[in-house]
Amino acid sequence: MSKILITGGTGYIGSHTAIELFAENRFDVISIDNLVNSSADTVGRIESITGKTMTNYQVDLVDLEAVRSVFKENTDIIGVIHFAALKSVGDSVSDPLGYYHNNFESLINILKCCEEFDVKNFIFSSSCSIYGNIDKLPVTEDTAVTETESPYAQTKWMGERIIKDFCKVSKVKCIALRYFNPVGAHESGKNGEDVINKPSNLVPVITRTAVGWIPQMTVFGGDYPTRDGTAIRDYIHVTDIADAHLKAMDYLLEGKNEHNYEVYNLGSGNGVSVLEAINAFEKVSGVKLNYVIGDRRAGDVISIYSDSSLAKDKLGWEAQKDIDEMMSSAWKWQQYVLENTAV
């Protein structure tokens, strides 16, 4: 079978996308991941769920020759899904040069290899963070990008521009998927957001607080101009996100794209506040969380949720799972991790 290369394949969304690709039994899947914020154990979890082995090359995408060696070894790659990037909003604020160097260089190198090795189908993991603070909701693909709120968001926005300019002079077909806030875990409970470093996303902070790994969680900002004072996001189940990447790849492979570069929002269309997310978790888990309201966090936007009707019309995709299912699966994953963690 032909191969799909996932960069960041042992990461959160990458691993779930690998699982969905294996389930279709149409492609072999390989990964490039330097394991800076993920674990090699993910390969074993993917195999336990799918019965198939994903080869991961522990390569830094900033090293062009190392990346070229992967393409040389795998001449049957027909598509690339590029997840790999540094992604913490807070860390990007404190280390902007590190984020610009890593995220730009890795993207440029993988595009160079697609061009050199004639891999014509490319999916880019973009982000709703590029929209920044906006006045009109929901967000559409035509919403103007004015001022991003963090260096991380800027790397995604500039990454899109790099791809757009690249597509003007290349035969590579590219789709940028601007997704909102992926949460949840595989239905088996055996794969989820396996955070190696200190978690910054809301749901792993919630589940780790619930089991006592975090003594008390902080809700960043209780004075936003929202219905309960906390920031509002559009949460979407990670398997829904994974499914969108499969549909986008098929869209390119079947030649349905109208342009060499296209952009799609991926979201549920529903805004959920931080406190509403906490309440949903407490409802499905039966666990009361120990949390306090703290100061706002640099780089966070106030409120954002999506209009993803274009993805429905063109890719045949829409979100399926609600916030209760997201929290329930995340809690199932946390319990799995707890049971399999050595004391």
Give the integer Cα–Cα distance in Å for 204 and 214: 10
Give the integer Cα–Cα distance in Å for 300 and 157: 16
Give the integer Cα–Cα distance in Å for 38 and 10: 6
- Which amino acid is present at 264? Y
Give the integer Cα–Cα distance in Å for 284 and 280: 6
Look at strands 28-32 and 55-57 and give their pairing: parallel
291 part of the active site:
no
Cβ distance 264 to 141 under 8 Å?
Answer: yes
Cβ distance 128 to 306 under 8 Å?
Answer: yes
Give the integer Cα–Cα distance in Å for 144 and 126: 15
CA within 13 Å, CB half, 153: 21
Give the torsion through C-alpha atoms of 118, 83, 323, 152, to 10 deg.
Answer: -130
Cβ distance 38 to 113 under 8 Å?
Answer: no
Cβ distance 20 to 14 under 8 Å?
Answer: no
φ, ψ for residue 109, nearest 5 deg: -65, -40
Give the integer Cα–Cα distance in Å for 173 and 316: 19
Which residues does 342 contact at the CB level (< 8 Å), separation at least 6? none
Q: Which residue among 152, 179, 305, 336 is the active-site one? A: 152
The catalytic site residues sit at: 152
